[in-house]
């Protein structure tokens, strides 16, 4: 095949379904490094992954953008663009070195626990998370411990996961009722007066690392919290 | 990306001297980030506590995760099995 045909094939990658993607790649007998190069080109063209999750964006509304529901979360279960993104994202840049370690200072039955989630939950009075921030909204919301769990609103709009379970039961991502039961049973000392909620989909986590996560950590320290239970979405 | 964010927030909290444990839905990401203590659960994204309206399963997952709190051989990543 000619260089021109290869370029055409590369250009088509992000416009096709996963099946078509393979057809095109095979028809073009693209070698793995060419597929990788084409993938990188796609993402440069897309500028930021956030676009993929935006319904208003022409690419975000393509039918193959929809997440395929499978029982277990593995890279292979993700939709093609999500998978390409996860494979190419430089996670190792944020590798913890050294890994921090704070021992549990008292028995769990006497400990004060706080919950932290990245499911984008907030109370009805609080502003929703901002999806227009291309690299991700790194802000957080303070969830009062007395809140009625099911009254929390999820403003995490990512198409990267199935939201149906959270709509049915907020405890699926923010198990406040379960922890209340543990306190009642005496297995956990007490719950902190507040918990914290972030939104995931943070592509550029610098502000999270330098600013908002340390701020939440200091607030938890000020509350004399002994242990924190964290959940993704 | 949620899994990465959890690891980074968890690290900030642990640096303040507070003990933490997290749920992971993508083992590969948690292994690279090296969260201090994580329980990998075999459920799809959006389902860290297994299933909606299943308090029994949610309790089993929480209990398994809380059992990791006392571990100091970080990074710890254990797998939840029924």
Give residue A32's pLDDT.
59
Largest CA distance in chain A: 71
Tell if the CB–CB gap between B2 and A225 is shorter than 8 Å: no
Give residue A209's pLDDT.
94
A193-201 average pLDDT score: 94
Helix axes A80-88, A32-46, angle to 10 degrees: 100
- Which of A67, A108, A200 is facing B69, going by the closest CB pair? A108
C-alpha A30/C-alpha A36 separation (Å) is 10
A222 in B contact zone (CB under 8 Å): no
C-alpha A155/C-alpha A40 separation (Å) is 30
C-alpha A153/C-alpha A164 separation (Å) is 13
Tell if the CB–CB gap between B21 and A227 is shorter than 8 Å: yes
Whether A50 contacts A203, CB under 8 Å: yes
Give residue B73's pLDDT.
97
Give residue B76's pLDDT.
97
Identify the band that residue A60 occupies on the pLDDT scale cut at 50, 70 and 90.
very low
ipTM: 0.98
Which residue of chain A is at minimal alpha-carbon distance from B36?
A99
Tell if the CB–CB gap between A232 and B53 is shorter than 8 Å: no
Which residues, in sequence order, are CB contacts of A121 under 8 Å at separation 6+?
A: A141, A143, A152, A153, A154, A155, A156, A170, A173, A174, A197
Tell if the CB–CB gap between A73 and B45 is shorter than 8 Å: yes
- Which of A101, A166, A216 is facing B74, going by the closest CB pair? A101
| CB < 8 Å from B in window 3-22 of A | none
């Amino acid at each position: 095949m000619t260089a021109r045909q290869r370029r055409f094939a590369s250009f088509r990658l992000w416009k096709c379904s996963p099946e078509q993607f393979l057809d095109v790649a095979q028809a073009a007998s693209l070698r793995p490094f060419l597929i990788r190069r084409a993938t990188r080109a796609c993402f440069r063209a897309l500028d930021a992954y956030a676009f993929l999750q935006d319904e208003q964006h022409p690419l975000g509304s393509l039918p193959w953008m929809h997440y395929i529901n499978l029982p277990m979360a593995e890279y292979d279960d993700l939709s093609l663009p999500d998978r390409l993104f996860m494979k190419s994202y430089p996670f190792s840049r944020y590798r913890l070195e050294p890994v921090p370690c704070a021992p549990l200072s008292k028995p769990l039955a006497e400990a004060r626990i706080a919950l932290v989630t990245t499911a984008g939950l907030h109370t009805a009075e609080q502003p929703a998370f901002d999806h227009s921030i291309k690299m991700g909204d790194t802000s957080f919301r303070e969830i009062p411990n007395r809140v009625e769990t099911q009254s929390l609103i999820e403003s995490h709009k990512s198409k990267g996961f199935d939201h149906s379970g959270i709509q049915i039961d907020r405890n699926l991502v923010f198990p406040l009722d379960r922890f209340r039961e543990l306190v009642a049973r005496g297995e956990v000392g007490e719950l902190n007066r507040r918990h914290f909620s972030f939104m995931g989909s943070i592509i550029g986590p610098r502000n999270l690392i330098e600013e908002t996560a340390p701020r939440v950590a200091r607030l938890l320290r000020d509350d004399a919290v002994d242990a924190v239970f964290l959940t993704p979405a | 990306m949620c899994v990465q964010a959890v690891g980074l927030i968890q690290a900030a909290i642990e640096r303040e001297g507070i003990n933490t444990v997290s749920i992971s839905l993508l083992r590969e990401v948690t292994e690279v980030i090296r969260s201090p203590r994580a329980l990998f659960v075999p459920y799809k994204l959006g389902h860290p506590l297994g299933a909606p309206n299943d308090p029994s399963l949610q309790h089993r997952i929480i209990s398994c995760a809380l059992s990791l709190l006392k571990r100091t051989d970080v990074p710890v990543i254990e797998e939840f099995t029924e």
